[in-house]
Amino acid sequence: MNGSGRKKNTYYLLKSIEEILINENFETEIINLYKEKLEFCTRCEVCILKDGCFINDKCSEIMKKVIECDGLIIGTPVYLNNMSGVLKNFFDRTCSWFHRTPVSQKPTLLLANTQGSGIKKTLNSVKEVMIQWGVCLTGSISRNGRNFNKPIKRHELKNFITSVNLNGYEYIPSFKEIYTYNVQRTLATNVFPVDKKYWEENNLIDSVYFKSAKINLIKKFYGNALYKFLCKVIKPIEN
C-alpha cells in the first residue's frame, strides 16, 4: 500500500519490494491510496457502535483487499515527522478494526522514507495502528535522502516472507500487543455489545491473545491478570 500523496519515492521502494516478491512467486498489487480519493471520516462512529460505513467511495473495496491478502506492506513517506495524511485518513476509516479486527495475525511489513528526519516516529505511529489491528509485525524497512538509492535486498523481507509462508502462525507478541488485546477484550466484555458478539463468535473472548500465536506462561499470566483487573475497573456504561 502506497500511502504517499504521489507516485514517487515510496512507490519506487514498493516496486523494488514487489520485484523481489514476484521472483518468489507471490502475486502482488500496489494500492496507491492517493488515487482512490477517499473521503474523510465523518466522525459519526456508526462503524464502531454498530457496523459498516455509509460513505460511498472506494474505501470498503480497499479494506476488503487488505482483509483478503496473505501479507500486507504499508509504505509511507515522512511528512512533518509522521505518516502521510492520506494514510492516516485511510486508518481513520478503518476505525472499527480497533475494536473488531478482521486482519488479526496478518503478516505485515512497514516501510517509511524521508529526506532526513522522522523515520522512527513515523514507523512507531504506523506500528501503533498495526498493534490495534492485531497483525503479525514482521519488521520495517526505511530509507532516507542519503541511502534512498540503496536497493532493497531480500534479507530485509526475510521475516515477512517467512511469516506469509506460515500464515502468521506461531507469532510471538510483545507485552504491549498483549496489553492492547486485553484492553479491547475488556471493552468487548463490559462495554460494547457489538464487540462482545464479534469476540464471542470469533473465539477471542476466552483467550489471552489470538490463538495462533505463541504465548509463554509469563505472558499468559500477565494478560489474564490484566484482563481481570481491567474488567473490575472498566464497567458497563450506565444509561
Binding site for ligand FMN (CB under 6 A): 4, 6, 8-10, 77-81, 113-118
Q: Return the number of the residue (4 or 207) whose C-beta is nearest ligand FMN.
A: 4
User: Between residues 93 and 143, which has the closer beta carbon with respect to ligand FMN?
Assistant: 143
Residue 118: CB minimum distance to ligand FMN, A: 5
The grid coordinates listed for 114 are: 524521508
Residue 107 phi/psi, 5-degree rounding, is -55, 130
Per the listing, cell 503479525 goes with: 136
| DSSP secondary structure code for residue 112 in this structure | E
In this structure, which amino acid lies at residue 23? N
Q: In terms of CB distance, is 105 or 122 closer to ligand FMN?
A: 122
Residue 83 vs 135, nearer CB to ligand FMN: 83
Q: Which is nearer to ligand FMN, 37 or 43 (CB)?
A: 37
Minimum CB–partner distance for residue 236 and ligand FMN (Å): 43
- Torsion of the alpha carbons at 92, 98, 99 and 104, rounded to the nearest 10: 130
Whole-angstrom Cα Rg for the chain: 18
Grid cell at residue 4: 504517499
Q: Report in angstroms how near the CB of residue 3 gets to ligand FMN at its nearest.
A: 8
What is the DSSP code (8-state) at residue 234? S
Q: How far is the CB of 83 from ligand FMN (least distance, A)?
A: 10
Quote the least distance from Cβ 79 to ligand FMN, whole Å: 4
Reduced to 3 states (helix: H, G, I; strand: E, B; else coil), residue 113 is strand
